[in-house]
A and B are shown apart, each in its own frame.
Chain A
Amino acid sequence: MHLDDVVTELVEHCGDRLLRVAYQLTHDAAAAQDLVQEALLRVYQSVRHRGLAPEDWYAYLRRAVINEYVRTRRLRSSTEIVTDAVPERPAAGCLEDRAADQAELWAALAALSERQRAVLVLRYYEDLADHEIGALLGCREATVRSLASRGLAAMRPLVAAASAEEEQT
Chain B
Amino acid sequence: MSEFEDDISRAMAGHDDEAPRAADLLRALEQASPPRRHLGWYVPFMAAAAVAAVVAGSAWAGGLLGGHKPVRTSGGAIPVQRLLSCPASYAHQAPWVPAKPAGIDGRSRLVPQITPSSALLCAYRGRNTARQQAGWALSGQRPLAGGLASLAGQLTWKPHSPRQPIACTAVGGPQTNYLIGLAYPGGARIWVAATNEPNECVAASNGEFTSSGIIGPAVSTAFASGRWPARAPVSCNRSYQDAGRLGQGTAMVPAGSTSVTICAPNARTRTLTSGYQALVSALNRLPTRPSTHSCSGTPGPSGAYQVFFSYPQGPPILVSILVGCHPAVDNNGLQATSASSVMPVIHHLLNRR
Across-interface contacts of B281 in A (CB, < 8 A): none
The B interface, classified by DSSP as helix, strand, loop or mixed, is: mixed
Tell me if A28 counts as interface (CB < 8 A to partner B). Answer: yes
Which of these, B35, B152, B259, contacts A2 with CB under 8 Å? Answer: B35
Across-interface contacts of B10 in A (CB, < 8 A): 102
> Judging by beta carbons under 8 Å apart, are A83 and B22 in contact?
no
Across-interface contacts of A110 in B (CB, < 8 A): 233, 235
Which of these, A30, A31, A37, A152, contacts B4 with CB under 8 Å? Answer: A152
Across-interface contacts of A67 in B (CB, < 8 A): none
CB-CB contacts below 8 Å: B241-292 with A: 259, 261, 267-273
Tell me if A59 counts as interface (CB < 8 A to partner B). Answer: no
Instruction: Please count how many residues in chain B sit with their CB below 8 Å of the partner chain's CB atoms.
Output: 78
> Judging by beta carbons under 8 Å apart, are B270 and A33 in contact?
no
Across-interface contacts of A101 in B (CB, < 8 A): 271
Across-interface contacts of A79 in B (CB, < 8 A): 221, 224-225
Contact with A along B3-43 (1 / 0, CB 8 A): 11101111111111011111011101110011110000000
Which of these, B25, B60, B231, contacts A15 with CB under 8 Å? Answer: B25
Across-interface contacts of A155 in B (CB, < 8 A): 8
Tell me if B237 counts as interface (CB < 8 A to partner A). Answer: yes
Q: A109 to B26: give the CA distance in the assembly, Å.
A: 29
Q: Which residue of A lies closest to B261 (CB)?
A: A107
Q: A72 to B16: give the CA distance in the assembly, Å.
A: 23
Tell me if B207 counts as interface (CB < 8 A to partner A). Answer: no
Across-interface contacts of A19 in B (CB, < 8 A): 19-22, 24-25
CB-CB contacts below 8 Å: B44-84 with A: 59-60, 63-69
Q: A87 to B269: give the CA distance in the assembly, Å.
A: 13
Contact with B along A62-95 (1 / 0, CB 8 A): 0000000000100110111001110100000001
Q: Which residue of A lies closest to B348 (CB)?
A: A169
> Judging by beta carbons under 8 Å apart, are B19 and A32 in contact?
yes
> 15 additional contacts, CB 8 Å, given A72-B227, A76-B221?
A3-B64, A12-B26, A19-B24, A23-B18, A28-B153, A30-B313, A33-B24, A34-B230, A41-B60, A44-B67, A76-B225, A76-B227, A84-B237, A96-B2, A109-B11
Q: What are some 13 contacts across the A-B interface (CB < 8 A)? A: A2-B35, A11-B25, A15-B22, A22-B19, A24-B12, A24-B19, A37-B60, A38-B60, A103-B259, A106-B12, A110-B235, A155-B8, A161-B269
